[in-house]
């Protein structure tokens, strides 16, 4: 018997790969591209329901402060070099070198 939500057989085992979150091509156009305008509907970055990240509100406040400040002077970011972290569960960078263009 399969569960209607996942299509997995009942009693089967599954693993969650957080690095795959928000990369479903059926829900997000161009799912592998970073898009700040994508919005937060169906975004799993901080979990959901009883498993939501306890620091979600602080993280959102910090991000809003940083990006609002940067948006006032930075016109463009350029990724010069990035070294991905090798991890079977998460996605991220161990090192990311960027340059910026600023308004004068």
What is the token pair recorded at 57? Answer: 């509100």
Confidence at 42, pLDDT banded by 50, 70, 90: low
Q: What is residue 45's predicted lDDT score, i.e. its pLDDT?
A: 72
Tens digits of residue pLDDT in 15-41: 777 777 777 888 888 888 877 777 766
Q: What is the rounded CA–CA span in Å between residue 73 and residue 98?
A: 15
Whole-model pTM above 0.75? no
Tens digits of residue pLDDT in 75-86: 999 999 999 888
């Amino acid at each position: 018997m399969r569960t209607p939500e996942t299509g997995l057989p009942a009693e089967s085992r599954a693993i969650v790969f957080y690095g795959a979150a928000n990369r479903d091509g059926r829900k997000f156009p161009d799912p592998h591209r970073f898009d700040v305008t994508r919005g937060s509907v169906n975004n799993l970055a901080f979990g959901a329901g009883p498993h939501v990240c306890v620091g979600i509100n602080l993280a959102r406040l910090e991000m809003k402060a940083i990006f609002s400040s940067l948006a006032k002077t930075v016109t463009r970011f350029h990724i010069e070099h990035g070294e991905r972290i090798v991890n079977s569960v998460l996605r991220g960078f161990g090192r990311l070198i960027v340059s910026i263009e600023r308004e004068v």
